[in-house]
């Protein structure tokens, strides 16, 4: 009975005293580098002209198992659809990546960003402006 407990403690002690096996980082001075397939915060994409790629088809909101995407579509004066409202509630998102997989326009990707702390509840509702990639400055 006591033997497995002692084995467990010995293993813990071994890892504790072995500096080469440190798995924590001194955040925020040091940043963790995510694995290549890590799914973090979302990013709405633009095409090369800076136009939003999302056409508000609603597939991402339909497939989302957490129902955390709020989308309202509209049409511009050329009859093109776009998302007038696009919000993700990050407190409900489980970062499954289904929204990225289902998007027919490659308009949404989960990136390697993982810092989403906020001291306000609504700080976790990411609106379109926050999700969109910034416009590239013209040279």
Q: Interface with ligand SF4 by CB under 6 A: which residues?
A: 54-60, 64-66, 68-69, 71, 83, 88, 93-99, 102-103, 105, 107-108
Give the nearer residue to ligand SF4 in terms of CB position, either 57 or 132. Answer: 57
Number of C-alpha atoms within 13 angstroms, CB side, residue 77? 0
Give the nearer residue to ligand SF4 in terms of CB position, either 38 or 98. Answer: 98
* Cross-strand pairs, 125: 89
**Shortest gap between Cβ of 74 and ligand SF4 (angstroms)?**
12
* Cross-strand pairs, 111: none
CA angle 72, 81, 76 (to 5 degrees): 100
113 vs 36, 53, 118, CA distance in Å?
A: 12, 21, 15
**Shortest gap between Cβ of 43 and ligand SF4 (angstroms)?**
11
Give the nearer residue to ligand SF4 in terms of CB position, either 4 or 79. Answer: 79
Give the nearer residue to ligand SF4 in terms of CB position, either 12 or 118. Answer: 118
**Shortest gap between Cβ of 100 and ligand SF4 (angstroms)?**
7
| Beta pairing class for 81-89 and 69-75 | antiparallel
> Do 101 and 65 meet the contact criterion of CB atoms below 8 Å apart?
no
**Shortest gap between Cβ of 98 and ligand SF4 (angstroms)?**
4
């Amino acid at each position: 009975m006591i033997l497995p407990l002692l084995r467990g403690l010995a293993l813990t002690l071994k890892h504790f005293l072995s500096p080469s096996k440190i798995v924590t980082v001194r955040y925020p001075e040091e940043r963790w580098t995510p694995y290549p397939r890590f799914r973090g915060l979302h990013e709405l994409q633009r095409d090369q002209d800076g136009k939003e790629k999302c056409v508000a088809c609603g597939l991402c909101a339909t497939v989302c198992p957490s129902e955390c995407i709020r989308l309202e579509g509209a049409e511009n004066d050329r009859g093109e659809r776009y998302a007038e409202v696009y919000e993700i509630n990050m407190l409900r998102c489980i970062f499954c990546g289904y929204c990225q997989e289902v998007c027919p326009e490659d308009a949404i990707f989960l990136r390697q960003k993982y810092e989403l702390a906020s001291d306000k509840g609504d700080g976790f509702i990411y609106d379109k402006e926050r999700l969109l990639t910034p416009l590239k400055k013209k040279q």
